[in-house]
Amino acid sequence: MSPSVLVVEDNENLAYGLRNNLEIEGYEVRLAMDGASGLSAATSGEHDLVILDLMLPEMDGFRVLAELRRGGVKVPVLILTARGSEADKVRGLKLGADDYVTKPFSVLELLARVEALLRRGAPLPPAESPIRIGEIEVDPMRRTVLRSGREVALAPKEFDLLLALYRRDGAVATRVELMEEVWGYPSDVLSRTVDTHISELRRKLETDPASPRHILTVRTIGYRICPRSSFQES
């Protein structure tokens, strides 16, 4: 079955052009021309990816994204917009976007990012047990996270990033390595993508995000997570 992509874009020419290009690549595509209908379609559970404009009638893209994540919808979201300021990019990523492409854009680049977001990672061992990181418990099979027994909602890429760090068993991961492994390609366009997602992980999982105990920065290189032997607190 072909992956299904929802395009939420009020510019008809651009929306139909995106649909044509995506359909040529074999995707099933649905269009929504305003924020309200886009939110309704995105919460239906019928789509594998949402391409979301920010400047929409009825409800802007930031609000659509916030409502999706607040409602626990974990579908990957690629923001596509003319608003190219770093502040807008960081805001979108903090709200739970998985990627950000600024207009005007290369169709080939956009298709590569769509493919990367839809690409599944290496299959997990069927019997992989939940991971303990201090008071945090991660279930790779169910893709759930508990902190002190309470579920924490992570965006899809936040969860993938956490697993990518864990699987290194304490070794350092560079930003480029994480971009390639989690997002599927290196990116100079969004130089703060990894940093922003790390900040969100710390905010959600660390007792004191300003002084993290589990997700650590290795200055000028990247990030590491405490080795498995120290995950279980005494």
Going residue by residue through the chain, which has 234 residues, state the pLDDT in tens, using 9 for 90 and above: 688 999 999 999 999 999 999 999 999 999 999 999 999 999 998 999 999 999 999 899 999 999 999 998 989 999 988 876 778 888 888 898 988 888 888 888 899 889 888 874 334 444 467 888 888 898 888 889 999 889 998 888 899 999 999 888 888 998 888 888 887 766 554 557 889 899 999 999 999 999 999 999 998 889 999 765 444 443
For residue 102, what are its two tokens? 């600024």
Q: Assign residue 143 a region: left if phi > 0, alpha if psi is -120 to 50, beta otherwise? A: left
Specify whether domain 4-118 bears CATH 3.40.190.10.
no
Q: Tell me, what's the pLDDT at 36?
A: 95
For residue 53, what are its two tokens? 């404009």
Q: Tell me, what's the pLDDT at 6?
A: 97
Q: Tell me, what's the pLDDT at 123?
A: 42
State residue 14 phi and psi, 5-degree precision: -65, -40
Q: Tell me, what's the pLDDT at 122?
A: 34
Distance CA 156, CA 182 (A): 10
Distances (CA, A) of 135 to 46, 55, 131, 148, 230: 34, 40, 10, 5, 12
Distances (CA, A) of 115 to 119, 132, 170, 208: 6, 31, 29, 36
Helix (H, G, I), strand (E, B) or coil at 150: strand
The neighbour count for residue 83, using CB atoms within 10 Å, is 19
Assigned CATH class of 131-230: mainly alpha
Q: Tell me, what's the pLDDT at 33?
A: 96
Q: Tell me, what's the pLDDT at 121?
A: 34
Q: Tell me, what's the pLDDT at 233?
A: 40
**What residue spans in the chain does CATH classification 3.40.50.2300 cover?**
4-118
What's CA 195's distance to the chain center, in Å? Answer: 13
Distances (CA, A) of 180 to 50, 117, 177: 21, 11, 5
HSE-up of residue 70 (Cα within 13 Å, Cβ side)? 7
**What residue spans in the chain does CATH classification 1.10.10.10 cover?**
131-230
pTM (2 d.p.): 0.63
